């Protein structure tokens, strides 16, 4: 059996799409106490934003650009 460090090294050597899938599956496997009220609010908000993008009400920006904007704000 691999040690945690070995497992980490193996995981980090995977292509980025595989690492993303692995990360998603690991997070799903964690047990969380989910507040249903908060979950409902997040789901409603996500659907509203999805609909705004689909209707053209808002224009999405690429993730890298969004991160660059956040970094600039944090540097101020």
Does 31 or 14 have the greater pLDDT score? Answer: 14
22 and 52 belong to one structural domain: no
53 and 20 belong to one structural domain: no
- The pLDDT value recorded for residue 32 is 78
39 and 20 belong to one structural domain: no
57 and 73 belong to one structural domain: yes
- The pLDDT value recorded for residue 31 is 78
73 and 39 belong to one structural domain: yes
How many structural domains comprise the chain?
A: 2
What's the CA gap between 45 and 42, in Å, rounded?
5
| pTM (two decimals) | 0.47
74 and 45 belong to one structural domain: yes
CA distances from 61 to 17, 44, 47, 56 (A): 21, 21, 18, 13
Checking phi first, is residue 56 left (phi over 0); if not, alpha (psi -120 to 50) or beta? Answer: left
Domain that holds residue 50: 35-76
**Cβ-based neighbours of 14, under 8 Å, separated by 6 or more:** 22
55 and 67 belong to one structural domain: yes
Q: Percentages helix, strand, coil for the chain, rounded to the nearest 5?
A: 75, 0, 25
**pLDDT tens digit sequence for 35-76:** 889 999 999 999 999 999 999 999 999 999 999 999 999 998
């Amino acid at each position: 059996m691999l040690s945690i460090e070995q497992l980490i090294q193996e995981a980090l050597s995977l292509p980025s799409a595989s690492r993303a899938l692995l990360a998603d599956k690991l997070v799903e496997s964690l047990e969380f106490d989910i507040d249903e009220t908060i979950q409902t609010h997040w789901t409603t908000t996500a659907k509203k934003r999805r609909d705004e993008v689909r209707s053209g009400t808002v224009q999405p920006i690429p993730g890298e650009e969004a991160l660059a904007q956040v970094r600039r704000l944090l540097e101020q």
